[in-house]
Amino acid sequence: MKLPKGTLVAALIVLVLFPASVLAEPITINWWFAHGGRLGEKVQEIVADFNASQSDYKVVATYKGNYHDTMMAGIAAFRAKNPPHVLQVFEVGTATMMAAKGAIKPVYEVMSESGLPFDPKAYLPTVTGYYTTSEGKMLSMPFNSSTPVLWYNKEAFKYAGLDLDKPPRTWPEVADYSRKIVAAYADQATKIEPIVKALKEAKAALEKAEMKDNAAKIDEILAETQSGVITAGFSTSWISWIQIENFSAWHNVPIGTKANGFDGLDTQFVFNSPLHVKHIQQLADWQKEKIFVYGGRRNIGNGLFSSGQVAMHTESSAGYAGFKKTCKFELGTSMLPYWPDAAGAPQNTIIGGASLWVLQGHSPEEYKGVAAFFNHLSKPEVQADWHEFTGYLPITLAAYDLKKKQGFYEKNPQMETALKQMTLNAPTENSRGLRFGNFVQMRDIMYDTLEAIFAEQKTAQQGLDEAAEKGNRLLRKFERDNK
Amino acid sequence: MEKRVIFKNKVLPYFLVAPQIIITLVFFIWPAFMALYQSVLREDPFGLKTVFVGFENFKYIFTDPIYLNSIKVTIIFSFSVAAIAMSAALFLAVMADRTIRGATTYKTFIIWPYAVAPVASAVIWYFLFNPSIGMFSFFLKAIGIDWNFTLNGRQAMVLVIIAAAWKVISYNFLFYLAGLQAIPKSFIEAAAIDGASPAKRFWTIAFPLLSPTVFFLLVMNMVYAFFETFGVIHAITEGGPNEATNIMVFKIYHDFFRGLDLGGSAAQSVILMFIVISLTVIQFRYIERKVHY
């Protein structure tokens, strides 16, 4: 097709002089997020739904790598005076974001200035508590939140003759169950030993007779015979988050002074208390009896559970999406175990995950768009869908009610375990969350420390004392920088 | 007689070197000065508040047990990497320099690893030695070694040293081979006629004539071990377990990108810069005297 030259020029002139009259451009809202893979696709779906639902704003969601990368990208963009409107920041970055008063625009402010309806009471208090000031002002919008639960392999429980619907409630029970399961499988290991031997001999004989297809079939039978033979009781992912931070909240003991840092920057770590030391030392000692096995940093240990090498595993409730695919056995969940002799347990657990921070440097109209988008995110249908798809917790009570009505939890009891555990008791100052500066580094120190304890280079007392000392130096540095 | 090229145009030579000067200024000199400047400041990550603090950052890192440990780790790591890479490459070069069947094939294979991106090679090492899925861990366990570099600091150190050295062996090999081939055959033949054994011929003739190459590689390998091994550490151990492989350059990255500590990591990079500058100066002043050109 060939257009006459004059028309093209005229069109161009109109476009240049009056862009708004030709294309009613919606206001662009940039959102930088940190979910790859399937979760990333889901994020784009939510954004597309919002963009289709109205024509004033267009949210552009951009994947910026993992949590660290995304936060760094946001900071660098802010320094270059070109920040996104909305930045997803993981929970341990909360103190850093809070302290950056000139860089962030608190969510309660964004919402009230927009004039759009906003009711902070509509949100789950244990979720928003993490991102709210002591005066109850919401600073960031929770997006993906989860809490750790105990996952267990029902097949292994059945095999060891344990009651499937009575998972262990306390740590001594976990040890007891572990011993029974490992013993049950030890029997199996000895039982299959002659079978394995006979199968191997048969295979060798078949190979000698050059019957390769039959020999290959024997291989399959061999693999089946040996699979799922459990060798240890339990393991854990995210060890600092689960076995130190959530352990503290669940037992209603502080991680640090000043209400876990909520009440001031002059906080000190106290995770070297007798209860913490007892627990960590016990984990180290349990390694010898094969009750506990350390699976590595982050959630690398998930493989131990999904491949049937351990019978129980503490991991985020959001691990569901992965386990659903990788576990070939029936899954059970229950609340985190506790020490029965600890006075405060069980209290309630705290969340992990990330929230959405609004950055400074944009116009009121754009902030209004952000507020509209946040309202969309908080809608019960959107929340309920996200909750079901990912295993993250819903952030509003309405979404929780909606899922209850749909009978979702009867079919997926593991999801409700997390919610029940979060809301078991009204949060205390030990179980509201934590707000420590430089906490990203603290978690790395914790990994190093716990690895040294599990490798028996240090006792739990030594290790945790040293970690607290190193951590306090980080806290002092943060205090110094943010006075 | 020395040959000199005389440019008639006074501006042209400056123009010709300008691109290199600009690159050096923008990517080396300017960042170095920025690091010096940043190291005497405390600044929050967003750049909202900046305070001049003098030497406080330096005082802090020198009382930090994690940093002191990382200096120790760096010394062990760098010297081991340089020693292993240089001796292994020299051995391979001497072997490949002889007239053997298929020498070109061997040479190609030995040079090959240099073309692998550092992080890609580190990931390969990580998977080979991964305690739960690694092929080599399987062999090591089969011969009775309790291999788990994610918990055992010494094993982790050995692994990253080998992985880092492996990468640079190819580079060293190329230079050694070129150096060896530049040695006139008549020297070696004369010594052989005089009855010198192959070992004697190597140590008294080839090695001294190779010394400029050895010296050059020593400087390059030290710089490599101090700075460019970041990818290996990042992909294999992330400085762990229990800070056993936390070399200085990784700690700088870690404190900046994870810890958002601008002043502290700038101070560390200033210290690292001075260490490497002084090492190079020492090498040029004392070791170079023993080099025959």
Task: Band the pLDDT of A1: cuts 50, 70, 90.
Answer: very low
Question: In this predicted model, which residue has the larger pLDDT, B221 or A6?
Answer: B221
Percent of chain A's residues with pLDDT above 90:
42
Task: Band the pLDDT of A22: cuts 50, 70, 90.
Answer: very low
With a cut of 90, say whether residue A274 has pLDDT above it.
Answer: yes
pLDDT at A337: 95
State the nearest Cα–Cα gap between A301 and chain B, in angstroms: 10
Task: Band the pLDDT of B107: cuts 50, 70, 90.
Answer: confident
Task: Band the pLDDT of A21: cuts 50, 70, 90.
Answer: very low
B45 contacts in chain A (CB < 8 Å): 75, 96, 100
B150 contacts in chain A (CB < 8 Å): 296-297, 451
Burial of A242 (0-12, 13-18, 19+ CB in 10 A): buried
| Per-residue model confidence as pLDDT tens digits over A402-418 | 988 988 888 877 788 88
State mean pLDDT over A292-315.
86
Question: In this predicted model, which residue has the larger pLDDT, A96 or A307?
Answer: A96
pLDDT at A2: 47
pLDDT at A165: 86
Contact B42 A481 (CB under 8 A): yes
Task: Band the pLDDT of B279: cuts 50, 70, 90.
Answer: confident
Question: In this predicted model, which residue has the larger pLDDT, A302 or B250?
Answer: B250
A470 contacts in chain B (CB < 8 Å): 65-66
Question: In this predicted model, which residue has the larger pLDDT, B254 or A14?
Answer: B254
With a cut of 70, say whether residue A12 has pLDDT above it.
Answer: no
Task: Band the pLDDT of B215: cuts 50, 70, 90.
Answer: confident
Q: Which stretch of A19-28, A244-253, B97-106, B142-151 has the lowest confidence by average pLDDT?
A: A19-28
With a cut of 50, say whether residue B100 has pLDDT above it.
Answer: yes
CA distance B38 to B47: 11
CA distance A92 to A242: 14
Question: In this predicted model, which residue has the larger pLDDT, A135 or A188?
Answer: A135
Contact A68 B258 (CB under 8 A): yes
With a cut of 50, say whether residue B278 has pLDDT above it.
Answer: yes
Question: In this predicted model, which residue has the larger pLDDT, A94 or B151?
Answer: A94
| Per-residue model confidence as pLDDT tens digits over A140-196 | 999 989 899 999 999 899 988 898 889 999 999 999 999 999 888 887 767 776 787
State mean pLDDT over A278-305.
89
CA distance A56 to A28: 9
| Per-residue model confidence as pLDDT tens digits over A104-122 | 999 999 999 988 888 888 8
| Per-residue model confidence as pLDDT tens digits over A247-272 | 999 999 999 999 898 888 899 999 99
Cα B137 to chain center, whole Å? 26
With a cut of 80, say whether residue A244 has pLDDT above it.
Answer: yes
Mean per-residue pLDDT over chain B, rounded: 86
**Interface list for chain B against chain A, based on CB atoms closer than 8 Å:** 42-49, 60, 64-66, 132, 150-152, 238-243, 254-255, 257-261, 264
State the nearest Cα–Cα gap between A442 and chain B, in angstroms: 9
| Per-residue model confidence as pLDDT tens digits over A326-363 | 888 888 999 999 999 988 889 999 988 899 999 999 99
B65 contacts in chain A (CB < 8 Å): 470
pLDDT at B33: 92
What's this model's pTM, rounded to 2 decimal places?
Answer: 0.75
| Per-residue model confidence as pLDDT tens digits over A199-208 | 888 888 887 7
Contact A457 B60 (CB under 8 A): no
State mean pLDDT over A72-93.
92
